[in-house]
Structure 1
Amino acid sequence: YLPIGGGGLAAGTLIAIKEKNPQVKVIGVQSKSFPAMYDSIKQGSITASGGDRTIADGISVKVPGQITFNIIKELIDEIVLVDDVEITKAMFLLMERMKFVVEPAGAASLAYLISNKPAIGKKVVAVLAGGNVDMYLLGQIVDKGLAAMGRLLKLSILLPDRPGAFKEIVDEITLANANIVEVVHDRLSSNINAGSAGVTLSVETQGKEQAGLLIDALKKKNIQFTLLT
């Protein structure tokens, strides 16, 4: 499994592998937002495709090259597609489990395998290509990965604007052994009535079980909140 944008990496890999062992199956992975090679192979000729936004800018190619298209058309076994959510998950797992920083385009192959697990006992290789990733995007990837695992909750809470009201929330979070990492206090938004205050909290937990216990505790206290993650 290897990422495909314009097709240079895939074409070179295909030539080398198929010459050594034609029985090895090579599968290309493209972004659903830029499926130019996928559509071109399907149509049998070069087709312009894509244009939506994607974090995988390294494979965001609208029109494949003629030379790479000819090679891939002849040698590729299959091309599959992934979306940004799958790529985000793969990048997070690579950072947390393997301590690898891989750019979104380079993580596309693993992203597909995580969502479409191969048969047990099958030998599979995911090509990870490139580490050119923006640091701000990297921070978002970490936050979204933690949120998906239930380890980072973002809560919007409506409180009576009186002394001690926020402390009641903090006490429940403390009892749940969770950790507040960010607080945003709001009295001015048009959807907040006079005499009330809005608080947005980012809370670290140990996982979905602990997060669920915290949410249940807030509900039992009749605390009005909206889960934003």
Structure 2
Amino acid sequence: MLELSDVLEAHERVRETSRHTPLERSHTYSAMTGADVHLKLETFQRTGAFKIRGATNRIATLSESQKEVGVVTASAGNHAQGVALAATRVGVDSTIVMPEHAPNSKVEATRSYGAEVVLAGTDYAEAAERAHEIEREEGRTYVHAFDDEMVMAGQGTIGLEILEDCPDVETVVVPIGGGGLISGVATAVKERNPDVRVIGVQAKGASSAASSLEKGERVTIDGVHTIADGIATRSIGERTFEHIREHVDEVVTVSDPEIAVATIYLLERSKTLVEGAGAVPLAALLFDKFAYEDDETIVPVLSGGNIDLNTLTNVIVRGLVETGRYLKIRTVLSDQPGALARLLEIFTAHRTNIYAIHHDRTSRDVEMSDTEVEIDLEMRGPDHVEEFLADLREAGYEVDVLV
């Protein structure tokens, strides 16, 4: 089992490569939740995520012969960038296998750090299979994304920084993919101060840790379905499972819509860009996924900010929908002059702003004497949406909410 001494040694190895990232109190989330919320901003880490810590520590412990042959790993993106940079800094050749549908921004960033990138498989598990083939074929050392004590120890340096910058912390909230981050952080925090709670958070569509703890044995789920690609793994590691059972107080899950809401809050209120995996700790806090006391000092670890811009667009729209600020509706009008104007009078009365409108007289879904209208609207919140839809229906319009 990983020990505090391993994390302390890792701290000495990684200090020149990784940054001591900010830990900032948030007045916004403290007011929203009643807790004393401090954000650990690994979004400002080199490569944009925490993974550089574990990769640097693991590569620093390679033998000279291992360094000469080089390393290989599999990753959905952040570990890839961490290994690529850590290896390049010390002159070690690296090959990174990424899923075929990995965000292009992460693929290009990994290449820019000096690695050879191989695209293979539909998810992390299939990419890892190809990476192990390369390991056997070329004799490279496999740098596991999470199930390696030296990788865990490197990630655990975040826990040391939290305790240093916020000695009164009572709860640390950490995302879980394969479990390397929370294993390292929980080991460092619990061995320094056993009274601090450690809460793990997974996406509902990738809840292998939660399922494993419930069944008392490591579980591999059939597939993953989440916008949080950085934690989209089908199983946690064998080693990380034991560390989670030993040190983590509770594991909870959040939905993709909840992740989206946390993401847009961070963008809008904190001016902080996070990826889905980085938003899940705040989502768990905002949506009351675990119990806490008033004024309890809570540190959500925002683990990374490497989000693909196409994904970000979808996340923002979904977050606006969930918070009642974006609405897309469909209705049918009589195909007569003035019908659309009469509809828009209701819009004007409610001060709704139109993003886009599509007026289709040829749709096969309506009578030839009618016309179909789809309208995208800017709204002011859930109450505004509810009142607006109620007035439309009271006026005799049949309205379908599309998003």
TM-score between both structures, scaled by the size of structure 1? 0.89
Provide Cα deviations, 1:73-129, integer angstroms capped at 9, x if missing partner: 222122112221221221122122212111111111111111116221222111111
Is 2:354 the partner of 1:168? no
Provide Cα deviations, 1:181-202, integer angstroms capped at 9, x if missing partner: 1111223332211011100001
Q: SS of the residue aligned with 2:220?
A: coil
Structure that is richer in helix per residue: 2
Please report the RMSD computed on the Cα atoms of aligned residues, expressed in angstroms.
2.0
Q: Corresponding residue for 2:297?
A: 123
Provide Cα deviations, 1:121-179, integer angstroms capped at 9, x if missing partner: 22211111111222222222222222223222222120111222212222332232221
Q: SS of the residue aligned with 1:180?
A: strand
1:198 is aligned, of 364, 367, 372, to 372
Is 2:254 the partner of 1:89? no
The 10-residue stretch of structure 1 (210-219 or 76-85) with the greater mean CA deviation from structure 2: 210-219
Q: Corresponding residue for 2:360?
A: 186
Q: Is the 8 A contact 1:33 1:50 kept in 2?
A: no
- Distance in 2 between the 1:202 and 1:164 partners? 20
Provide Cα deviations, 1:23-44, integer angstroms capped at 9, x if missing partner: 1111111122222222333344
- Distance in 2 between the 1:169 and 1:204 partners? 16
1:52 Cα deviation from its structure 2 partner: 3.7
Q: Is the 8 A contact 2:324 2:381 kept in 1?
A: yes
Q: Corresponding residue for 1:228?
A: 402
Runs of at least 5 residues in structure 1 that lack an aligned partner in the other structure: none
Q: Corresponding residue for 1:47?
A: 219
Q: SS of the residue aligned with 2:213?
A: helix
- Distance in 2 between the 1:34 and 1:208 partners? 29
Closer/same/farther in 2, CA of residues 164 and 98 from structure 1, 3 Å limit: same
The 10-residue stretch of structure 1 (134-143 or 36-45) with the greater mean CA deviation from structure 2: 36-45
- Distance in 2 between the 1:81 and 1:223 partners? 39
Runs of at least 5 residues in structure 2 that lack an aligned partner in the other structure: 1-172
Q: SS of the residue aligned with 2:205?
A: coil
The total of aligned residue pairs comes to 229
1:213 Cα deviation from its structure 2 partner: 4.3
Q: Corresponding residue for 1:101?
A: 273
The 10-residue stretch of structure 1 (178-187 or 145-154) with the greater mean CA deviation from structure 2: 145-154
Q: Corresponding residue for 1:137?
A: 311
Is 2:328 the partner of 1:154? yes
Q: Percent identity?
A: 37
TM-score between both structures, scaled by the size of structure 2? 0.53
Q: Corresponding residue for 2:16?
A: none
Q: SS of the residue aligned with 1:222?
A: coil
Q: Is the 8 A contact 1:36 1:50 kept in 2?
A: no
Closer/same/farther in 2, CA of residues 26 and 182 from structure 1, 3 Å limit: same
2:185 is aligned, of 13, 18, 26, to 13
Q: Is the 8 A contact 2:257 2:322 kept in 1?
A: no
Closer/same/farther in 2, CA of residues 68 and 52 from structure 1, 3 Å limit: closer
